[in-house]
Amino acid sequence: MNVSDFTFDHYGRLLDAALDNDYTFYTVEEYVTRAEHDDPHIVVRHDVDRKVATARAMAHVEAGRGISTTYYFRTSTFSPEVAAEFEELGHEVGYHYEDFVKTRGDFEAAHERFARNLDEFREHADIATICPHGSPLSPHHNLDMWHGEYGIDRYDLTAEAYLSVDTASDDPEKPSYVSDTGRDWATTIADFGRISTTDDLIAAMESGTCDRLYLLVHPGRWSRNPAEQVQRVAWDVAAEAGKSVAKGAHALGRSSGDWISRAMRDRV
Question: Which residue's CB is nearer to Zn ion, number 133 or number 232?
Answer: 133
Question: Which residue's CB is nearer to Zn ion, number 47 or number 92?
Answer: 47
| Least distance in angstroms from the C-beta of 138 to Zn ion | 12
Which range of residues in 30-38, 46-54, 141-149, 251-259 is near Zn ion by CB under 5 A?
Answer: 46-54
181: alpha, beta or left, given left = phi > 0 and alpha = psi -120 to 50? Answer: beta
Q: Evaluate the omega torsion of the peptide bond into residue 172 and state whether it is cis, within 30 degrees of 0.
A: no
| Least distance in angstroms from the C-beta of 77 to Zn ion | 9
For residue 221, state whether it binds Zn ion (rule: CB under 5 A): no
| Least distance in angstroms from the C-beta of 83 to Zn ion | 17
Which range of residues in 2-10, 45-53, 237-245, 256-264 is near Zn ion by CB under 5 A?
Answer: 45-53
CA distance 120 to 133: 18
Of the candidates 30, 47, 99, 180, which one interacts with Zn ion according to CB under 5 A? Answer: 47
User: CA of 267: how far to CAs of 51, 131, 156, in Å?
Assistant: 19, 12, 26
| Least distance in angstroms from the C-beta of 161 to Zn ion | 11
Binding track over 115-134 against Zn ion, x by CB under 5 A: ------------------x-
Query: How big, in percent rounded to 5, are the helix, strand and coil portions of the chain?
Result: 45, 20, 40
Whole-number CA gyration radius for the chain: 18
Nearest to 224 by CA among 61, 33, 71, 37: 61
Question: Which residue's CB is nearer to Zn ion, number 18 or number 55?
Answer: 55
| Least distance in angstroms from the C-beta of 268 to Zn ion | 5
CA distance 92 to 67: 11
CA distance 41 to 26: 7
Of the candidates 29, 30, 49, 200, which one interacts with Zn ion according to CB under 5 A? Answer: 49
User: Is 139:250 a contact under the CB 8 Å cutoff?
Assistant: yes
**133 to 172, contacts with Zn ion by CB under 5 A?**
133
| Least distance in angstroms from the C-beta of 111 to Zn ion | 20
User: Is 169:187 a contact under the CB 8 Å cutoff?
Assistant: yes
Binding site for Zn ion (CB under 5 A): 47, 49, 133
